[in-house]
Amino acid sequence: MRKFLTALFASTTLASTGLMTLTPAIAADNAKPAEVRTPLNELGKDDPYLWMEEIEGTRALDWAKAQNARTLPVLQGDKRYADLEAKALAILNAKDRVPGVSFSGDGSLTNFWQDADHVRGLWRRTTLESYRTAEPTWETILDIDALSKAESANWVFKGASCLPPDETRCLVTLSNGGKDAVTVREFDTTTKAFVPGGFVLPEGKQNYSWLDKDTLLVAREWKPGEMTKSGYAYVLKTLKRGESLDQAREVYRGQETDVSVSPYVLRDPDGQVMGVIAHRGVTFFESEHYLITAKGAAKLPLPAKCSIQTFVNGRLIVLLEQDWPEQGLKTGDLFEYNIDPLTADALASLGDGKPVGARPMLVFRPTARQSVESVTSTRDKLVVGLLDNVKGAALVFDLGNKGWTQRKLDLPANSSIGLGSASDKDDRLFVSVTGYLAPTTYWLADAATGKLEQVKASPARFDASTHVVEQFEAVSTDGTKIPYFVVRPKNVKYDGSAPTLLYAYGGFQVPMTPGYSGVMGKLWLERGGTYVVANIRGGGEFGPAWHEAGLKANRQKVYDDFFAVSEDLVARKITSPRRLGIMGGSNGGLLMGVALTQRPELYNAIVIQVPLFDMIRYSQIGAGASWVGEYGDPAIPSERAVIAKYDPYSNLKAGKKYPEVFIETSTKDDRVHPAHARKAAARLEALGYPVLYYENVDGGHAASANLAETARRQALEYVYLTRKLMD
């Protein structure tokens, strides 16, 4: 369930989204008294750039337009820009790209496709037999370009949720310009048209699911202002066909201080509902789960830090993110509950009888250098994507009389393994295999037999023969070993002269795994660049404990890890501060801001993408209140003191040797508010530093709503990096 919230924050890759627990423990007489919270309106009240927080305010937009008018001629005026943009766009729009597909209940495979002729995109389908061929035959389900033109709208397709088992009735999600706030409309894939008089959910940040063909479960803003402080829904209702929103019936209510509430419907492979769960995100990392019954909501016996992964063979599969000694389970374990005794216990708690004592069972326990990266299920099998020292594997689990047994799918080693769409009709699933220099291949796996069929292979987009991939370790300030990958020219001279781009994220338990990027390879590697990815703490490379090590009061460890990798690159003479550039987005954009203010002497180029930057006011801007579980609460003096030490915005000082940075954001980013980027650029300029700034109007947190905008953004980035590191 937390994957939904993480996606809210980490979707430029990039991640996705805590507050105090609602019922504090009773303090002992000698316990430290609770700190008096600072009123939010007191935090940053003297900031001269508060007006930039009005996301589409005239003054703020005029400022952004003026910045674009100054920056774009500099970067687009570079003689190399046009060539880099053309190459990026050619790769992104290439007709021979391999389309990823999903199993549909009607037997087809569906795909969403964008290219030069379909800028906003096509939702389309084909058959497996056709997909296996070199030129599949596609049938258009919905043309987003045509829809936008017909409705004079700025639609960005955000996906479709279809009702099992045949999946011909779908809830199509449309965003105005890429915002997280979406409009939802019922669509019939048989007639390929929106259903007359069908379900329509007006624009909003909302969570929803089909219950049956005539009923939806919806969490949204039902009354004006009825949202959490993070800006998400906390009231869950059922909405019947033909009803207006004010006729919906409430089934669960969280609290305003929660992150969000969302529904989760448990179904067997044939689409039968086996249970309905309300997921209450108390903080980003702590949650409660309630079984919705006719007699009320019954709390399930799950620890605060865990996430429901899937439902298979009548078992609820859960990933544990804290120790659970009462049940003999540890952080990082994958465990299951049999749904029948779990339901019986839930009903008993509502007064129907004596609990039967549902108990969790261990499915898989990773080692210290392993972590569960992803989980899915076919009709009868559980499939787990595993990271082993940041390298991928896929395990199939079978449930027998003696519990769970496992076997490994024989996929290429030393790669990233991505679990794709899984079938409810049988035990097949799609799996992707990729690496920094290896184009992605797509496999059809049979989890029952272990049979593997490579059905597609992406064409190479750059000459990878000139580079090699290596994995090293740096030692952080506390002695922790931090792994990182280096993709370098084979003939690199170890004299510090290699132009090097270092990327990292370091937050929200999001792992940075090897992956093929045709644009990065063409615009950077093929031109002689070295590319590095650091697996710093705060991420999920080694499970929840790796993430926990960088939370709140431990945040500086994340940044120390990043600096350790930077210094190790210099010590190995792979590069030097003159030739070392760094890039990161969202939480990684915060990392870039900390690097700028704490260790500017290490870098000659910094690309700061859709960043967090003003950490004293972050909980008041955009969806920031949902991330207090990651960073701490600025309203609590002791936590604010920790934040203030690394807060990039307040730590910008005059007289430092800051490199000229390139800051990017989007006006339509309603997750990490563009005010962070705006204020960073404005303060740097006020202190007398040169700064390059680009604000794309559309795009949301991805900073681009279509492939043409993506190509432009990437070309701007690589022109900047070329000027700073290669010239």
pLDDT in tens, 656-687: 999 999 999 999 888 899 999 999 999 999 99
pLDDT-wise least confident of 18-27, 217-226, 498-507: 18-27
Those residues whose C-beta lies under 8 Å from the C-beta of residue 623, and which sit 6 or more positions away, are 8, 9, 17, 180, 230, 231, 232, 670, 671, 672
% of the chain surpassing 70 pLDDT:
94
Q: Does pLDDT of 704 surpass 90?
A: no
User: Do residues 659 and 724 lie in contact, with contact meaning Cβ atoms separated by under 8 Å?
Assistant: yes
Region of residue 517 (phi > 0: left; psi between -120 and 50: alpha; otherwise: beta): beta
Residue 1 has pLDDT above 60, yes or no: no
**Is residue 17 pLDDT above 80, yes or no?**
no
Whole-number percent of the chain with pLDDT over 90: 90
pLDDT digits (tens, 9 = 90+) for 613-633: 999 999 999 899 999 999 999
pLDDT at 529 over 90: yes
Q: Per-residue pLDDT tens for 206-253?
A: 999 999 999 999 999 999 999 999 999 999 999 999 999 999 999 999
Q: With bands split at pLDDT 50, 70 and 90, how would you rate the model's confidence at 699?
A: low
Q: What is the mean pLDDT of the chain?
A: 93
User: How many CB atoms within 10 Å of residue 637?
Assistant: 12
- pLDDT band (50, 70, 90) for residue 30: very low
Alpha carbon separation from 654 to 25, 607, 641, 662 (Å, rounded): 45, 20, 22, 18
Beta strand 315-320 with 306-312 is: antiparallel
**Is 586 among the catalytic positions?**
yes
List C-alpha distances in Å: 494 to 279, 567, 604, 627. 53, 14, 19, 41
Give the C-alpha separation, 282 to 49, whole Å. 32
Our measurement of the distance from residue 237's CA atom to the centroid of its chain's CA atoms, rounded to an integer in Å, reads 26
Phi/psi of residue 443, nearest 5 degrees:
-120, 145
Residue 713 has pLDDT above 70, yes or no: yes
Confidence check: pLDDT of 517 > 90: yes
Residue 669, φ and ψ in degrees, nearest 5:
-80, 100
Q: CA–CA separation, 389 vs 722, rounded Å? A: 32
Q: Supply the pLDDT for residue 356.
A: 78
Q: What is the DSSP letter of 522?
A: I
545-576: b (≥16 Cβ within 10 Å) or e? bbbbbbbbeebebbbbbbbbbbebbbeeebbb
pLDDT in tens, 348-400: 988 877 777 899 999 999 999 999 999 999 999 999 999 999 999 999 999 99
pLDDT bucket at 32, cuts 50 / 70 / 90? low
pLDDT in tens, 410-419: 999 999 999 9
Nearest to 463 by CA among 533, 529, 391: 529
Contact 180, 4 (CB under 8 A): no
Is the pLDDT reported for residue 262 higher than 70? Answer: yes
- Could you give the C-alpha distances from 545 to 13, 18, 182, 364, in angstroms and in order? 21, 18, 34, 16
Two structure tokens written together for 38: 């600072």
State pLDDT tens for residues 62-102: 999 999 999 999 999 999 999 999 999 999 999 999 999 99
The whole-model pTM stands at: 0.90
In the structure, what pLDDT confidence band is assigned to residue 702 with cuts at 50, 70 and 90? Answer: low
Q: Which of 8-22, 471-485, 533-547, 652-666 has the lowest mean pLDDT?
A: 8-22
What was the pLDDT predicted at 700? 65
* Residue 443: exposure state from Cβ atoms within 10 A (0-12, 13-18, ≥19): buried
Structure tokens given for 622 = 């955009």
**How do strand 481-489 and strand 467-475 relate by DSSP bridges?**
antiparallel
Among 586, 626, 650, 666, the active-site one is 586
What was the pLDDT predicted at 13? 31
Q: What is the pLDDT of residue 12?
A: 32
What is the token pair recorded at 414? 């030393």
pLDDT bin (cut points 50, 70, 90) of residue 15 is very low
- Which of 621, 624, 590, 622 shows the shortest CA–CA distance to 608? 590
Instruction: Using the structure block, give the residue that is written with the tokens 């105090």.
Output: 20
Whether the CB-CB separation of 688 and 569 falls below 8 Å is answered with no
On the question of pLDDT at 650 being above 50, the answer is: yes
458 is catalytic: no
Tell me the Cα Rg of the chain: 25
Beta strands per DSSP E along 326-451? 334-338, 361-364, 370-377, 382-388, 391-400, 403-408, 416-422, 428-434, 441-446
Label residue 8 by pLDDT band (50, 70, 90): very low
Strands (E), 507-644: 530-534, 580-585, 605-609
The CA distance from 100 to 124, in Å, is: 11
Within 10 angstroms of residue 633's Cβ, the number of other Cβ atoms is 21
Report the C-alpha gap between 134 and 418 in whole angstroms: 22
Question: Exactly one of 118, 467, 676, 701 is catalytic; which is it?
Answer: 701
Q: Assess whether pLDDT exceeds 50 at residue 6.
A: no
Both structure tokens of 59: 């003054």
Greater pLDDT, 577 or 401 = 577
* 368 contacts 542 by C-beta, under 8 angstroms: yes
pLDDT tens-digit readout, 110-132: 999 999 999 999 999 999 999 99
- Which whole-number Å values give the CA distances from 97 to 21, 91, 122, 433, 459, in the listed order? 47, 8, 15, 15, 7
Under 8 Å between Cβ of 222 and 243: no
User: Is residue 337 over pLDDT 70?
Assistant: yes
Q: Which residue type is seen at 170?
A: C
From CA 512, how far away is CA 363, in angstroms rounded?
25
Phi, psi (rounded to 5 degrees) for 174: -125, 135
Pairing of strands 169-176, 182-188: antiparallel
Beta bridge partners of 102: 110
The conformation of residue 329, written as its DSSP 8-state character, comes to B
For residue 377, CA distances in Å to 312, 361, 644 come to: 6, 17, 44
Cα separations in angstroms, 652 against 299, 596, 618, 682: 47, 9, 16, 11
The rounded distance, in Å, linking the Cα atoms of 124 and 143 is 8
pLDDT value of position 351: 80
SS3 content of the chain, % helix, strand, coil (to 5): 25, 30, 45
Contact 441, 433 (CB under 8 A): yes
Interaxial angle between packed helices 707-721 and 81-93, expressed in degrees from 0 to 180 and rounded to the nearest 10? 140
Residue-level pLDDT at 175: 96
- Coil, helix or strand at residue 146: helix
